[in-house]
Amino acid sequence: MGLTEEVAKFITTVAYEDFSPKAQFAARHGIIDFVACALAGSREDLVDILLGFARDTGGGHAATVIGRDIKTSAPMAALINGAMGHALDYDDITHFMKGHPSVVCLPPALAAGEQVGACGRDVMLAYMIAFEVGCAVGYGMSTDYADDLGWHPTAPLGTLAAAAAASRLLGLTRDQTAMAISLAASSAAGLRENFGTMTKPFHAGNASRAGVTAAMLAKRGYTASTTGLEGKFGFMHAFSGGRGEDVTKPLERLGKQFFLEQPGVNIKKYPCCGSTHHPLDAFFLLREETPIDYRKVDAVEVLVDFDPPRSLIHSDPHSALEGKFSLQYCLAAALVDGKVGLAQFHDEAVMRPEIRALMPKISMKRNPGQEGKPSWQEATNEVRITLKGGKVLCKSVRREYDGPVIGVTPQGMDMKFRDCASIALAGRKIEEALEMLHALEKQPHISDLMATLSGK
């Protein structure tokens, strides 16, 4: 069997019990984090636009839109929930996808699961399967895929992950699943050029929708190549720019060493692009040691472990969405406000005079000697602040890859959930939802959780 068929075999045969306790622990954190971010993002303008699109195109009542007390078709619910979960760029990340896993693993699992009346255990299993498939294929991609070619990895790999989740829940055969994966591979897309606009969250939603659609079509007999991943003109070759992919690598780990365990999931502290997080961590560590008055800052130089700009493409942002992909804005906000949270990402916050004055003083470049090499290779980020008078403050941090859960304690995860969920749910519903998510594998019907998350 080739790679596509081997992936289909994994999707259709792996059992819940095959996943280790550490993998299940990471999955639970990723699931709770996605739901938190979706509830927080459920009031964003892009959700209203997508809901209008759903009404215009017709949809049915198979699956719930989180936080909005609306039902639509499973593909449309996956689209809207995926987009809202990524709207604030607050959702988790993982290394081998070089992107956001839960926002393309859980929306299709919830939508397909609700359509077929699945239990929580089956939805959690579908999420874990999707995570492993997305990371395994990412493991074999060339470095150019995430670096020089302009793809947003969450979207193409996420389409495959979404198809994996939906295929398992819809009960596809091995052959049908291989067809669904190949069909999803032909639906995959997502460009970094669109970062800082509503289209970046659309990447996650569209990947989720495409995965559910591929599985539903394959179940009805729609056909596709059985070598869609590894073929001469397949996903891995095409998205790697025709060079550097290794179609044997995914099977080195798939089903043998769980990506959920290592590198695991990285829960975000800040609602902005993950490439800003380590410089922000360095700044806040520095600030703990030395009080910093932003009015006394002469220059800030940031050494990063990727060739700029990569994801951080907005050096002079004029909106909150652009600010999420601007190291200049994020560090300026940290200097002025002493924090980087949801309150920092409004258009008015980006346009404050003190922020506008600080941003030109902040520069970003690759660690010397690493220019042109793959991203995150040396994994060190450093912030150097020069104060008026010449004093220099410096702090560096290293990127962590030691899973299964990075960036938050279980207590911190619950705090983030309550904070985000308060935007869409009443207090009683917040605690009810959190309790159900902590015991997702014990829920007899996923529809009960979705009713709680609907915001009704």
Domain boundaries, the chain: 3-269+407-453, 274-398
Residues 4-54 pLDDT 10s: 999 999 999 999 999 999 999 999 999 999 999 999 999 999 999 999 999
Band of pLDDT at residue 376, cut at 50, 70 and 90:
confident
pLDDT at 402 (0 to 100) = 77
User: What's the pLDDT score for residue 41?
Assistant: 97
Burial of 369 by CB count in 10 Å (0-12 exposed, 13-18 middle, 19+ buried)? Answer: exposed
Q: For residue 400, what pLDDT band results from cuts at 50, 70 and 90? A: confident
Q: Is the pLDDT of residue 184 over 90?
A: yes
**pLDDT per residue as tens digits for the range 67-102:** 999 999 999 999 999 999 999 999 999 988 989 999
| Amino acid 58: pLDDT | 80
Contact, 47 vs 73, CB < 8 A?
A: no
Greater confidence (176 vs 410) lies with: 176
Q: Which fold has domain 3-269+407-453?
A: 2-methylcitrate dehydratase PrpD (1.10.4100)
Average pLDDT, stretch 446-450? 97
For the full predicted model, state whether its pTM sits above 0.95: no
Distance, in Å, from the CA atom of 180 to the CA atom of 174, rounded to the nearest integer, reads 10
d(CA 21, CA 127): 15
Return the pLDDT at 145: 86
pLDDT tens per residue, range 290-349? 999 999 999 999 999 998 998 899 999 999 999 999 999 999 999 999 999 999 999 999
CATH number belonging to domain 274-398: 3.30.1330.120
> Quick one: pLDDT band at residue 182, thresholds 50, 70, 90?
very high
